[in-house]
Chains A and B, each alone.
Chain A
Amino acid sequence: MNGDLVLDVRDLHTHFFLRRGVVKAVDGVSFSLRRGEVLGLVGESGCGKSVTALSLLRLLPKPAARTVKGEIVLDGEDILPKSDREMRQIRGRKIAMILQDPQTSLNPVFTVGDQIREALAKYFQGPPGSIMARAIDVLRRVKVAAPEQRIHQYPHQMSGGMKQRVVGAIAISCEPQVMIADEPTTSLDVTIQLQYLRLLKELQEATDMALLFITHDFGVVAKMCDRVAVMYAGRIVESGTVRQVFDKPAHPYTQALIASVPRMKAQVGRLHTIEGQPPEFSNLPPGCRFAPRCALADERCHATYPAQFTVGEGHTADCWRLEETA
């Protein structure tokens, strides 16, 4: 762990208030990010990963969703009490985001140059020429070939991978301290995925920004991340360094997830799956949320949510079975 804390999320609760009841999409999530660190947030679809990301930006769908409890300390300041106007200053400058689909991430009616310059102009004063030069420079940093020509092109003239690079260029243009990447490679061609991940990693190392990497791909986590947090039904059930979590997964859910990843070398048999379905958010079990699907669950697991136990240095998991060993 190097550097200082840039993002510290404590006990975050984001709920959706719907007509049919309250959906606790994020229910007590805590994690932190240091400068130059990459944290992978892993979990299956609908476990609250993206809602967590939107909570950090305070861009939740209004009026249904609200962060009801917790603290989000970004660069030493809690951003939850901030006004919309203040948030606009923070977004882009301190925290930026890359989304899944590059096809819709760019405005089709403007050239990519216009869009990068729009992002830049908000934070850098200067004559149009210098902003243009800076925009070309940003494109060069995301390894777009011939940026002087590309900058005058429209999004439809570019490939998906190229567009996603432009999205990356816009995200890094104002040198944010924290970048959120919400499954940035899912809609890219497989051959481009690795290329893009490498680029992202390089940029992250070069700028020393903190990266919150949201994915459901354990393989990508192993390549990209320093630490990993596993989310299940609105809570982080296990977190630790990538090595710790991969070598000694402590939570049965993490163990099951890792076991589910198909291996090239292993004998080809039936793929491992986790029995059952994730719980309904509106009808969460009172105890451990994974208990209904967990082979090792006992009465206590069904009755009360487990406390957090430390498994190793910086490695924690929420599971009663760890009580004896801890």
Chain B
Amino acid sequence: MRNMPWTSLGIIAAMLFMAVFAPVLTDHSPIDQSLAKKLLPPVWEEGGSTKYLLGTDIFGRDVLTRLFYGARVSMIVTAMALLVGGGVGLLLGIVSGYVGGRVDTLLMRLVDAALAFPTILFALLLAVTMGQGLRTIVIAISLLLWARFARVVRGEVLAVKQRDFIALARVHGCSPARIMMVHVLPNVLNTFMVLLTLHVGVVIVAEASLSFLGAGVPPPTPSWGLMVAEGRGKISSAWWLSIIPGIAITLVVLAFNLFGDWLRDRLDPKLRQL
């Protein structure tokens, strides 16, 4: 295939590889502390060690190892949140767009409410009431995602609904449920796929932000956002603590966004260059 975004795919593949093979790639533990070796700089800085390529943090844990395991957390959160939030959004978007009328009005006002409510605040509330953890963070991010998905999918359904094959399916005696599943859903899947890829970045950033604020994954589990937060106090003396996970977040989000853009162009026949 021409014009494949190889750089993006490379970065995405590297992240997945890191996440899946984290225990094989490194001997260090992401959690065990060793205060004797704390705040070692990366290997290319003065005083750096080849044992700790990207240095160590304030508890003497290897930054590279934590980056690997952090990729795992990011991946799990992303997958779960997209599955839950995206799935719910897709379903409600189809129902809202196809059924229309009062159902549509009600669902869209709910979407408005969900979009108006600050996610961070909501996540903090959840973290207080349910306790920190993966579950909390997935729920918080899903609550943001479903509304965005529902809104876009609904718009797409409104367009698909006007096409004659939907009318003919009704003429042929299809039930509304069947029309939604068989005739509407496959026609909005393109849009859904693009939305998914474009929201991977959103989820990673949201997870990082929540962890940074302390509403996300509880320490000592490594998460990129948490690593940025932990290094914040030492930014002037040990820059690598915050900057390295920051670079990782930026690269991965950028890669997913570029991939999403490419996918959108590929799947949109109007933009496709033959």
Contacts and interface: CB of A to CB of B under 8 A. Distances in A.
Interface of A: 57, 59, 62-63, 87-93, 95-97, 99-101, 104-110, 118-119, 122, 167, 170, 174
Interface of B: 101, 163-165, 167-175, 182-183, 186-187
A307 to B, nearest CB: 36
Greatest chain B CB density within 10 A among A59, A101, A118 is at A118
Most chain B beta-carbon neighbours within 10 Å: one of A59, A87, A108: A108
Contacts, number: 56
B173 A109 contact: no
Contact of A119 (B163, B170, B172, B183): B172
Contacts of A93: 173
A57 B168 CA distance: 11
Given A62-B101, A104-B163, A118-B182, A92 B187 contact: no
A96 B164 contact: no
B34 to A, nearest CB: 57
Given A91-B173, A122-B173, A97 B186 contact: no
Contact of B168 (A63, A89, A97): A97
A117 B9 CA distance: 40
A97 B170 CA distance: 10
Nearest to B162: A104
B171 A167 contact: no
13 contacts: A59-B167, A59-B170, A88-B175, A91-B173, A96-B171, A100-B164, A105-B168, A107-B169, A107-B183, A109-B186, A110-B186, A118-B182, A170-B168
Given A105-B164, A109-B187, A92 B171 contact: yes
A93 B174 CA distance: 11
A57 to B, nearest CB: 6
Contacts of A92: 171-173
Closest 6 CB pairs of A and B: A92-B172, A91-B173, A92-B173, A88-B173, A104-B163, A109-B186
